[in-house]
Amino acid sequence: MCGRYAATANPDDLVEEFEVDADQTRGELAPRYNLAPTDPAPVVVQRPPRGEPDAPPERTLRLLTWGLVPSWAKDPSVGSRMINARSDTLLDKPAYRRAALSRRCLVPADGWYEWQKSPTAKDAKGKPLRQPFFTRAADGGRLAFAGVFEFWRDDARPDDDPLAWLTTYAIITTEAEPGLDLLHDRMPFVLPRDRWDLWLDPRVTDPEQVRALLDPVPPGRFECYPVSRRVGDVRNTGPELLDPVPRDQLQGVLDPATGELIGG
């Protein structure tokens, strides 16, 4: 799964790297080292200009809310429970199918956090100690999570109210690759660059073509390392969250690269 991630790029870099036509973040984009569900985050979408459905789609950088709220939801609070969508059932679930066929997005990220349950160490309550790890691209590049987005209308608000519409997204997950499966059995689906254009194109609506864009990718693109447990508190947001924890401070941790037990 993906329940926390980091996205620290400035908008100019994202506009260039993702070949964005328009930046709609309006200067509101700041480095985020501990993004959590219900937070606003930078997302790349592609749609025709408003009021011109037949015009070529434009690629836009927007701030959307993490946690997808289906258009038919009665209460937007459901979004906090719909932060991830499984790649294998994406086109089968009513909450995601319509978005998967026409409202796909890219979620820029530096990497994501995952918590490993220790096979040996216990906390004060006798439960397995949980060690957070940060996973990033092995080559140091930016990641693009595959995602879907949706619009939700608050019928209690008038049409001219800027809060009448809520735009939300979910991150698509896939089976964790070898090594990373020692952290969790799921991981974000990191879309290869050569699939970005088709994934974003709203004119690609054939279910089988969409499904093919989520075909497995060869492993080995990522590296991970242990980080401070401070990341577990959403109030902690500084860059120090990405600092590695020294090996001699680890307790009962399995090394994802070797399977070695560190610290008893």
| Planar angle of CA 189, 195, 196, nearest 5 degrees | 85
Distance separating alpha carbons of residues 32 and 38, to the nearest angstrom: 13
Q: Where are the domains of the chain?
A: 4-262
Beta carbons within 8 Å of 212's beta carbon, 6+ residues apart: none
Tell me the whole-structure pTM to 2 decimals.
0.95
CB-CB neighbours of 250 under 10 Å: 19
Q: How far apart are the first and last CA of the chain?
A: 27
* Angstrom distance (rounded) from CA 134 to CA 74: 35
Q: How far is CA 168 from the centre of its chain?
A: 12
d(CA 54, CA 141): 35
In angstroms, rounded to a whole number, what is the distance separating the alpha carbons of residues 44 and 19?
10
The per-residue DSSP string of 192-204 comes to -GGGHHHHH-TT-
Note the pLDDT of residue 162.
76
Give the CA-trace dihedral at 237, 79, 43, 215, to 10 degrees: 110
pLDDT of residue 43: 98
Catalytic-role residue among 2, 105, 150, 224:
2
2 is catalytic: yes
Note if 224 is an active site residue.
no
Cα diameter, the chain: 62
Bridge partners (DSSP) of residue 223 are: 136
List 17, 19, 52, 114, catalytic entry = 114
Residue 187: the pLDDT is 98
Could you tell me which residues are beta bridge partners of residue 151?
167
| 111-122 and 4-7 strand pairing | antiparallel
pLDDT attached to residue 155: 83
**Tens of pLDDT, residue by residue, the chain (264 residues):** 689 999 999 999 999 999 999 999 977 889 999 999 999 999 999 998 887 877 889 999 999 999 999 999 988 888 889 999 999 999 999 999 999 999 999 999 999 999 999 999 999 999 999 999 999 999 999 999 999 999 998 887 887 787 778 999 999 999 999 999 999 999 999 999 999 999 999 999 999 999 999 999 999 999 999 999 999 999 999 999 999 999 999 999 999 999 999 997
CB of 68 closer than 8 Å to CB of 150: yes
Residue with tokens 């089988």: 208
CA pair distance 151, 62, nearest whole angstrom: 13
Q: Write down the CATH number for the domain with range 4-262.
A: 3.90.1680.10
Predicted confidence at residue 158, as pLDDT, reads 82
pLDDT at 225: 98
